[in-house]
């Protein structure tokens, strides 16, 4: 079933995994929502400066920011109330993960690209 997926740390650089994930999500029928205060658009899609600025329900958040940035976004993630948060390699932070999980949100340490390619998304 297609999901609305926020990409925390979206990038216009085709070499970044967040960019590759955005393309793969769209290719598989999901609705990617780029989140990054640096951009107005990412790969031609409107980019939002933060999770709160997206006006619709988000099913999944896939994280592509380092832990030092993520720690300041935990409350935004919890207030967004997605079904799950995927922590991609390099973004995992046990303190942030525990807070999100304690809020009743599913936490998954995985690579979004691998999940998509292996039909486990």
| pLDDT one-digit tens code per residue, 40-82 | 999 999 999 999 999 999 999 999 999 999 999 999 999 999 9
The top-level CATH class assigned to 4-117 is: alpha beta
Whether 103 and 10 have beta carbons less than 8 Å apart is answered as no
**Beta bridge pairs of residue 6:** 33, 61
Average pLDDT over residues 100-109: 97
Q: Give the start-to-end residue ranges of the domains of the chain.
A: 4-117
How many CB atoms neighbour CB 64 within 10 A? 26
The pairing of strands 45-46 and 41-42 is antiparallel
């Amino acid at each position: 079933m297609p999901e609305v997926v926020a990409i925390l740390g979206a990038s216009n650089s085709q070499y970044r995994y967040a960019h590759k994930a955005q393309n793969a999500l769209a290719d598989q029928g999901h609705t990617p929502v780029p989140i990054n205060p640096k951009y107005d658009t990412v790969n031609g899609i409107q980019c939002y400066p933060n999770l709160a600025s997206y006006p619709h329900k988000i099913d999944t958040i896939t994280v592509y920011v380092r832990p030092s940035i993520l720690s300041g976004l935990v409350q935004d993630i919890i207030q967004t109330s997605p079904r799950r948060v995927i922590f991609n390699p390099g973004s995992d932070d046990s303190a942030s993960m525990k807070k999100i999980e304690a809020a009743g949100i599913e936490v998954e340490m995985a690579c979004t690209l691998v999940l998509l390619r292996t039909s486990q998304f």
